[in-house]
Amino acid sequence: MRIFGTDGVRGLANGSLTSELALGLGVAAARVLVEHQDDLAYGSGRPRPLAVVGRDTRISGQFLEHAVVAGLASAGVDVLRLRVLPTPGVAHFTDALGADVGVVISASHNPMPDNGIKFLARGGVKLDDALEREIEAHLGQEWDRPTGADVGRVTPYGPTVDEYAAHLVRTLDKPLAGLKVVLDCAHGAASEVGPKALADAGATVVAIGAEPDGLNINDGYGSTHLGPLQQAVLEHGADAGFAVDGDADRCLAVDHTGEVVDGDQIMAILAPRPPGEGAAGRRHPRRDRDEQPRPGAGDDRRGRAGPADRRGRPLRPRGHARRRLHPRRGSSPGT
């Protein structure tokens, strides 16, 4: 029976996704790890495989986490409990701690009653489809259970939030001092680490949707509900606003006027550019002043060399080439 979808196992918590299934998935994943031990780090150093497990703020994540952890440990896998952490954070610790598998318990942007279980391979990458099929094949099978000292150890990993926030800050090229940012955490996994990382990077942070109670994840806040973010950016005079979903693996933004910047535009802003070009693809102003027009090139209205036709006349953008980067106010956000 095929139970893995495109993003792990997902369904109504305590409906189709039960504690029994979570326990069985933990056992099956552990057995697959053991069968592939020659490919894993613990085969040459650690006495047992190592797993890290994190979750979002859904109330059902508590019993599902314990079920998955019990399955893994009962099958001889050591487990580090990361507790509440964004999905990218679990991927980071899977790699940084040299774990053989990572487990994320989350249904992402789905409503609170849903939940999910996703396995990550070594390095924090998506588990190969072939390994998912092996896990499915092991569900419900008879197996030789380890006993005594051969069972796994379960340990809370203490510095999760501080270490992940520090990791995020290290990815920046420059500090965020002088910027005021609104962050909508969807009452989800980023509620603690998200504002902390931005503040540690130097920004002034206004956090909204950052009071999880286990029942309010994605409820009226987050990347699928941008209204509160737009309002907060305008009310606080912020430079920008960002909204993540329940497990903080997706992000939308608004600019200082409250206009939406969708995922495609964010990717364009973040894309690498040749040296001397800024965030919007403009050349460095000092370099522009110093450069002379090339033979046959026209001059644009600002006096800089621009594209020209065969007679040296400057070409002007037409149609969509003149459009602004940001969509018009009221456009629907991407998903």
Active-site residues, by number, are 108
Half-sphere exposure of 145 (CA within 13 A, CB side): 10
Helix/strand/coil percent split, the chain, to 5 = 35, 20, 45
19-35 helix and 60-74 helix, angle to the nearest 10 degrees: 30
Radius of gyration of the chain (CA): 24
Sign of the alpha-carbon torsion through 269, 271, 277, 281:
negative
Provide DSSP, 176-198. Answer: -TT-EEEEE-TTSTTTTHHHHHH
Half-sphere exposure of 266 (CA within 13 A, CB side): 17
Whether the CB-CB separation of 248 and 185 falls below 8 Å is answered with yes
Q: Is 243 exposed, middle or buried (0-12, 13-18, 19+ CB in 10 A)?
A: buried
Within 10 A of 193 (CB to CB), how many other CB atoms are there? 23
Pairing of strands 154-156, 78-84: parallel
Q: How far is CA 317 from the centre of its chain?
A: 36
